Amino acid sequence: MIASIGGGSSTMGLLKYLFGPGQHNEHNDPHIVGSWDGLAPDPGREPGVTFTQLRDALDLRVVQAGERAPKEHVWHCSVRAASTDRLLSDDEWNRIAQRIVVAAGVAPEGDPDGCRWIAVRHADDHIHILATLVRGNLTQPRIRGDWGRVESELTLIENELGLLSLAHTRTKDRYSGPKRPTRAELRKAERRNLPQTPRETLRTAVRQSLAGAATEEEFLRRLAEHGIRTSTRRAPSGDAIGYKFALPGDRNAKNEPVWFSGSKLDPDLSLPKIRARFAAGADEPAYPDPNEHTWPASGRHQASTTIDHALAALADDQSDDRTAATISGSIEILDALAATSPVLSRKEITQAARALDRTGLTHTRAAKTDLRAMRSAARAVLNAGPAVGRSDDGTAAATILSSLVLLAIVIAKWHTARGHEYQAQAANTAADHLRTAYARHAAKPLAVLDLHGGRLPQPVQDRQAKALRQVLPADQATKVLNEPGWNALAVTLAEAEAAGHDPADLLAQAAGRRELASADSATAVLNWRIRRDAGLPTTSTAAVKPTGRTGAALARTTTVRQKVPHVDIAAAQPAPLPTAPSSPRPRR
């Protein structure tokens, strides 16, 4: 179970939310499952009972205390069960609420002067507890440290009721991941008809400015280019102790900029965390001249190779330090990819990055070598420039996105194995966004490859299938051969063979990473890795004689940037072809 504790000054405002339809009509059958005396009026189930009656009952002692009552007299605690837990009854939720108010100090057990409270259920998996913080003797309750006591009580409740234990996740959620927008910020965004709150927009802009930046100066320059206002907070000694950021045009009632410190945007954006990234460093890409326009595909292929190596390393060492570096670095790569991707996939990639924000290990020191490699990959993506829709851009995007989907799946499994359910859910959400982005880029090149693969001579198909069975375990080879993408993989292997590569060697290299079993489609992952590793052209160069109408359509779809000599891939001894150039070519 996960608890979230907050407060406020309006009992009526919270009641209207708890018994209302919700922001997206998600509240279903709101009703009271427990209260301080078991007799609280219930606007959800009792005809004629009004919010005013319930508010007056809850606020009775607040009114009696007058000026002695705290201004923030509302205590609010939401408690959510894990998605895998069984459905709890109203009676069980009532007993849980009673234990929580006792643990928090809101209504100590056996104390007739305990605060008044209610527990409202408006969804299957959670309740909200509302209490007013004035006791029967008109004093205030002692609730300092309430969260820690509630957390301990939830651990006992989970054990007693046989629910999923989320003790470690609760501790992490207090410190890691970005701070969620407040209700006031959400209302402000709604009034201004904004797609997200300024806090969320600012967090994305700061992260994208940080992605792959080699120095603090470069980071600040990128912020200025984004139009982000930046101010340095300094200690009396003059030393910098933090940054604060503001969006242009985002002002408060006094017409002053609304500033957010880095740590308020995300614990990972505090000054010490930012400087730790710069200390890890980032290697310059192979094309250092900033005036030279390079193919975006080069940067994406370089980054996808780094991601594959990170996956292999994570399979060997799943320590917190290595995982922290992998997660932090993958977010930088996603931010760099979003900043240089076409509209076709930019939104999905950005959403994947923000989902992974909630999977980080803030209190763990990231492994410096791993972080440097991932940051260097992000820098390569940025320096390669924005994709402009060439066919090789789409293929390279599909390659890196297939690697990122795998990475998100592995991160989700890592958190699941440690009972971090919410972090695992966030990683799975990131994987879903990345799958959508991948499908948009991969569909066309896969269709072309599949068309060529379906027209391969049978001896060539058989030769590639033999190489596959030679490398992969029998069950995995059978699975790949039966997947829809086998034709595409077969023609890729045939092209690689014609270019002088050994298909078995390429398969062994591409399949030698243990995380391949996690892939949605092992065939697609192998296909993109082999095309990248062998330096194959963007689209298939298989020599298939066009016949009739199908052949004409095939000829129209087969366009290749490089001049590749005609090769009969059905030949027993295929002649070697020159491989694609290893260094990126300048744009025309």
Question: Would you give per-residue pLDDT tens digits along the chain (588 residues)?
Answer: 888 888 888 999 999 989 988 766 678 889 999 999 999 999 999 999 999 999 999 999 999 999 999 989 999 999 988 877 899 999 999 999 999 999 999 999 989 999 999 999 998 889 999 999 999 999 999 998 888 889 889 989 988 998 877 665 555 444 456 777 776 787 788 888 888 888 889 999 999 999 989 898 999 999 999 899 998 888 788 788 888 999 988 888 888 899 998 888 888 888 888 888 888 888 887 654 555 444 678 888 889 999 988 888 887 778 888 888 899 999 999 999 999 888 888 999 999 999 998 888 766 777 888 889 999 999 989 888 887 666 577 788 889 999 999 999 999 999 888 878 778 888 999 999 999 999 888 888 888 888 988 899 999 999 999 999 999 889 888 988 998 889 999 999 999 999 899 999 999 988 875 566 667 788 888 988 899 888 887 655 444 333 333 333 333 333 333 333 333 333 333 333 333 333 333 333
Amino acid of residue 412: A
Amino acid of residue 18: L
Number of other residues whose CB lies within 10 A of the CB of residue 191 = 8
pLDDT (0 to 100) of residue 313: 85
- Cα distance between residue 245 and residue 504, in whole Å: 53
Phi, psi angle pair for 480, to nearest 5°: -65, -45
Strand, coil or helix: what is 152?
Answer: helix
Q: What is the strand order of the sheet 240-246 is part of?
A: 229-234, 240-246, 260-261
Q: Judge residue 340's burial from the number of C-beta atoms within 10 Å of its C-beta, 0-12 exposed, 13-18 middle, 19 or more buried.
A: buried
Quickly list DSSP for 242-267: EEEEE-TT-B-TTS-B--EEHHHH-G
Number of other residues whose CB lies within 10 A of the CB of residue 8 = 15
CATH architecture of 2-165: 2-Layer Sandwich (3.30)
- Cα distance between residue 298 and residue 215, in whole Å: 23
**Extents of the domains making up the chain:** 2-165, 194-279, 447-557
Paired tokens of 437: 């982005």
pLDDT (0 to 100) of residue 337: 93
- Cα distance between residue 73 and residue 60, in whole Å: 12
Paired tokens of 60: 């009775």
pLDDT (0 to 100) of residue 25: 66
- Cα distance between residue 523 and residue 482, in whole Å: 10
pLDDT (0 to 100) of residue 135: 95
- Cα distance between residue 359 and residue 361, in whole Å: 7
pLDDT (0 to 100) of residue 247: 92
Strand, coil or helix: what is 53?
Answer: helix
Q: What is the 3-state secondary structure (H, E, C) of 498-515?
A: HCCCCHHHHHHHHHCCHH
- Cα distance between residue 117 and residue 292, in whole Å: 67
Residues 29, 122 contacting (CB under 8 angstroms) = yes
Strand, coil or helix: what is 568?
Answer: coil
Size (the chain), residues: 588
pLDDT (0 to 100) of residue 517: 67
Positive or negative, the Cα torsion across 247, 250, 254, 260?
Answer: negative
Amino acid of residue 303: A
Q: Judge residue 38's burial from the number of C-beta atoms within 10 Å of its C-beta, 0-12 exposed, 13-18 middle, 19 or more buried.
A: exposed
Residues 330, 307 contacting (CB under 8 angstroms) = yes
pLDDT (0 to 100) of residue 539: 55
